[in-house]
Each structure stands twice: as C-alpha cells, then as structure tokens.
Amino acid sequence: MPVSKNRRRIVPILRAIIEVAFIVFLFYSNLLMGEFTHANGQGKSLAFALNDIFTGTNFVIAMISACIGYAGFESMRKRL
C-alpha cells in the first residue's frame, strides 16, 4: 500500500516533535533528580520540588537545549 504524500510530509515533523519532547523530558527528570539529591531538606515533598523546577526560565532553557540537541542528532543522522 503506497504511503500518501500528506503522511510523508507529516512524519518528519512528528519525529522532530517526539525527539524534542524526549529531550525536554530528560532535562526535567535530571532537574528533579538533582533537586532531591542536592537539597534534600527535611519535609521536602515532590510537590515542592516540582514547583521549584517548573519555571519559565527552565522551560526556555529546556526548549533551546532540545532544539540544539535535535539539530545535532539530525546532522549526525544525515552523515551516517
């Protein structure tokens, strides 16, 4: 069964979105682990840690890092 032209156009976009989202997930999971190991104070809860790491600045950093990471992996993928 031939793949339609619309699907061929959407696949690279979906792959980019999935890869960027995965990099952002890794960024936030790393921040969360660091939040608990670095400053594990008495009575520190998961809600407190999540509130501490989900900021606008962290989101901008995550998105810029994810886009750079995606571009780097995409260039390596094309070279191989």
Asked whether 65 and 27 are in contact (CB, 8 A), the reply is yes
How large is the C-alpha radius of gyration of the chain? 18
Mind listing the pLDDT tens digit of every residue in the chain (80 residues)? 566 777 888 998 999 999 999 999 999 999 988 887 766 666 677 888 888 889 999 999 999 999 999 999 999 999 98
pTM value? Answer: 0.79
Q: Where does 1-79 show beta strands of DSSP type E?
A: none
Number of domains in the chain: 1
Largest CA distance in the chain: 60
User: Residue 35: phi, psi to the nearest 5?
Assistant: -65, -40
Residues 6+ apart with CB under 8 A from 20: 63, 66, 67, 69, 70
